[in-house]
Structures are given as structure tokens and as C-alpha cells.
Amino acid sequence: MGLVLLVAGTAAALPPGWQAAGRSPEARARLRAWMERLRAERLASDLVPLELRLLEEAQRAPTSEEALAWAELAAAAAPGDPRARWVLVTRPETRWAERVRHGLAALRAVVADPWVAGQLAARAALGVGLAGWATLAALLVWGAAARGRLLLHDYADAFPWRYRRWTPFGVGLFLAGAAWAAGFGPGAGLGALAAALVPYLPSRGRVLAAGAFLAAFSLPLALGLGAFDPDSSSRAWQRYLVRTGAEPGAFEPGPDADPVVRYTLAQRRGRRDEAARVAEAALARGEDPGFWHVTLGNAAYLRGRYQEAEGHYQAAAAARPDDPVPWYNLHLARLARLELRGADEALQKARSVDASAVERFEARQPPGEGDGVPAAVPVPPAWIYGPLLRPAAVPAWAGPVVGWFVWPWPAVPVWAAGLAGFVLALLAGRLAGARRSRLCPGCGVVVCPRCGYRVKGTELCAACWSLDRAEAPDPAETERVRERRRRWRRRLDRGTRLGNAVLPGWGRFLS
């Protein structure tokens, strides 16, 4: 009778006597075994339409015990769907230990859902790239405002002192024009400017900049990830629907559509010979023999063709030696043919591969007499997020945009600039060392290792150094330096307060 209903094939059709499942544990076990059979037949890990039907039943149940039983059946129908779990978490009659268990299962269902996981990975890649540019831009703005004059000072120091007034501007302008003419875009310019400012950042800022370089210049990669191949995505979506036991509406897959989808829809609509042909063709093409042999074996087993099923299970066991499913199903097929010794051997083999999985399969068997229910092979999640994350062919606009923004030579990959920036930022402190200018911690004046601002190896400027030693020759000069120190101190305090307001604990770094 169950088989007739399966041929009819609508998801929410339930076997006779199912109404008793709310009250009788016996009927509940029968319903669970029926669901297991449906799972093997329909190639669905989750029977979502059935789950929703059972949740309706839970809402209508007269007693809270029955409601709980229905909700638990719904969770068993779709273990990978968070909805039934969530209902169990929120029902007042669920015990607390069970609530925690179902809450964790709901969370795992959301995170491990192949569609969610695939989308998350792609969005995260895109987000990291954009965050890289935002961080780089913020560091550039802050670095130019707070430490820009140190860079300018060291840059001007590269010229003979008589030519430090206008020549640096001219050379800078000339360099920018030459870079522009050579094809470097604004992105490359921003990167170079940020790289020049990095040695003046505090160590935490340098680490931040290293990450930002890597993320920002790998953005073209992330864009490639974010732009999916539409054909591949729709294939992933259909597989996903198939996996959750839903049917893609009036969808009729063509002869070159995904074999998993074609097989499953043909099987659900009762066209078993067509389904078998699709599976044989997939096998002939060399697609995952473990999956397809178990699937074909289950179809044969459920139609009573035990010998044919046995052949498929044996082939599957050869292809997947460390999967208990083929061995367990082989045990069932031999049991049905009354080959008791062979059945026992297969069961021992399945137990030796994974004893706890066999225990689970046994628990799902129908109570009383009758054929066993074969264990199903779910469509692996990787078969969904694999095609989902397949990048599209690079769109026509991407090349010119990257060419304009960074540089036009595809032979020099942009991510190499990110890698160079990353290494440079991490090593900047050591590379620049004592050659870079610093700020006098006393008054904020540039302390330069080359010109006269720094005295005798101290980090203080000449004025602060002599003030420190109480050597100031002129009281008016002393007062001027003290005033400058007070101004600098107020500025630093303001910066620290602002920094702490924006990022608590980071005030000193930002000031």
C-alpha cells in the first residue's frame, strides 16, 4: 500500500493510519519507517513539505504531549531544516535539556545548510575585499593627517638642502604624471601612497595595513567569486530543491540537465524506467559510482528486484569501501532473498565500518514483519555549493575597470601588489628603522635623524631636549617651548578621547 502512495508521489500524502502517530508509539515508529522509505525512494535528505504538514498537525494537536510528538516527527522528517527544531525549542512542554539539543541542531542546520554556506562564503569574500579598501582608505586619511608631515619631511630630505622649497613638488608632480602616462591607475596610486605612509604607523596600524593590502588587492578575486555563473547557480538551486524534497514547480528538465535532478523528478513522478536510464547514463559517464549504485540499488530493492539490487550494492561497496550504507543495504537485499548467511556477513561488514551508523539504520526499521527499509544516500552538500560557487566568466567590463583603476597589464596580477603590500607593511618597522623621522614626544615637532632637529641620539627635539636638561638659555624661548608642549598635549588628549570613543582601548593608537 505504501508503495502505491509512493507511485502517486505527492509529498504531503501520508500512509494509512498516520493520524494515530500523535498518540501511539507503534504508529509513530511505522510513520518514521515510512519516511525513511520515502527518503530512499525520493533521494531527499529532507522531506520539507512533509515536515510542514506535520508541524500543522502539531499546532492542531489537542494535548501538549501529542503536539510534542508531532513536532518531533517533523524534525525527523527534515533533520537539516531549522523550522521544526525551532518549534521544539519554543514549545513550553519541551524539557530544557531537549531544548538545548534542538537549539543547537537548529543552529547547525542554518550554518551547515549548503545554500546558506555557499552564499555566506561568497558574501564573506566580497565583504573582506570591500573592508580591505575601506580600511586602506581610512588608514590613508588618518595617516596623511597625523603623520603626513613626517613623510613629507623625509621626502624633502632626499633633496639637497638648497632645493627643498619647490623641487620636491615638481619631482612629485613629474612622478605622478609619469605613472599616469605609464598606465598606473588611481588604485595603484592610493596603494603606493599607503605603502609610503605605512612605516610611520604604530605597530598595530602596520599589522592592520598589512591585512588591508592583502584584502583590498585581492578584490578582483573576490569579485570573481561574487559573480556566479548563472547556469551553474540554477543547477545548484534545482539540486538544493531536490535535496529538500521539494519539486521545482512545473519544472521539466531537458535531456542535458543535471542527472540528479532528472533522476529524482522522474522517480517522483513514477517514471521509473526513465529514472533508471538517467542513472545508468550517469554511471557510464563515470559520475560518483558509490552514489549512483546505491541509488539504483535502492530503486530496484523497493520494487522487489532483490538480485539486481544486490549487484548494485556490491558495486557501490567496491566504490565506497568505508561507507556502511552499501553493506547495510546488501544485508537487507540478501535477507529478502533468504540468503541468511550472506546477509549476516554483510551486516558484520557494515558494523565493522561504522557500528553507530548501523544502529541508526536499525532504529528506523518498521516494527513487526515486512521488508526492511534501505538506508538512503543523501545528495552531498558539496554537490550544491560546488556549482553555486563556480565563478562566472569574467564580465567584459571587469578588464577595462581593473585596467583603469590599478594597471592595464593582465600579465602582472593585481593580487601580487596586495602580497607585496602585505610583506612590506609587516617589515616596514624594521626596514625603515632609524632612517624615518619621528615626532618629538615632548612637543610634536618633527624629530629627524638627518637635519638638526634631533640632538645627540635623543628622540626629543632640540628645544625639548635642552628644556629637559634645564639648559634653556633664554626665558622667552623656554616659555615658547612650554606653550608649544601644552598645545601638543591638548591635541594628543583630544585625539585619545576621540580614538577611545570610536574604538574603545585604541585611543592612543588613533591619536
Q: Give the interface with Zn ion as residue ranges (CB under 5 A).
A: 157, 440, 442-443, 445, 448, 450-451, 461, 464
Q: Which is nearer to Zn ion, 56 or 468 (CB)?
A: 468
Q: Which is nearer to Zn ion, 346 or 448 (CB)?
A: 448
Cβ atoms of 375 and 325 within 8 Å: the answer is yes
- The set of residues, in sequence order, having a beta carbon less than 8 Å from that of 188 and lying 6+ positions away, is 179, 406, 407, 417
Give min distance, CB of 463 to Zn ion, in A. Answer: 5
DSSP three-state, residue 454: strand
The whole-angstrom separation of Cα 10 and Cα 41 is 12
Q: Which is nearer to Zn ion, 118 or 442 (CB)?
A: 442
Give min distance, CB of 193 to Zn ion, in A. Answer: 20
Give min distance, CB of 484 to Zn ion, in A. Answer: 7
Give min distance, CB of 451 to Zn ion, in A. Answer: 3
Give min distance, CB of 161 to Zn ion, in A. Answer: 9
C-alpha 171: how far from chain center: 47
Give min distance, CB of 437 to Zn ion, in A. Answer: 6
Q: Which is nearer to Zn ion, 271 or 489 (CB)?
A: 489
- The set of residues, in sequence order, having a beta carbon less than 8 Å from that of 85 and lying 6+ positions away, is 75, 102, 103, 105, 106, 109
Read off the C-alpha cell for 331: 544485508
Measure Cα distances from 287 to 44, 114, 314, 317 in Å: 19, 20, 17, 15
The whole-angstrom separation of Cα 500 and Cα 511 is 9
Q: Which is nearer to Zn ion, 164 or 305 (CB)?
A: 164
Q: Which is nearer to Zn ion, 157 or 354 (CB)?
A: 157
Give min distance, CB of 176 to Zn ion, in A. Answer: 23
Q: Which is nearer to Zn ion, 159 or 506 (CB)?
A: 159
Q: Which is nearer to Zn ion, 208 or 464 (CB)?
A: 464
Q: Which is nearer to Zn ion, 40 or 445 (CB)?
A: 445
Give min distance, CB of 467 to Zn ion, in A. Answer: 8
The whole-angstrom separation of Cα 7 and Cα 1 is 10
Give min distance, CB of 466 to Zn ion, in A. Answer: 10
Strand residues in 324-454 grouped as ranges (E): 438-439, 446-447
- DSSP secondary structure string, 110-136? HHH-HHHHHHHHHHHHHHHHHHHHHHH
Q: Which residues pair with 129 in a beta bridge?
A: none
Vertex 130 angle, CA 226 and 149, to 5°: 155
- DSSP secondary structure string, 305-347? -HHHHHHHHHHHHHH-TT-HHHHHHHHHHHHHTT-HHHHHHHH
- The set of residues, in sequence order, having a beta carbon less than 8 Å from that of 92 and lying 6+ positions away, is 64
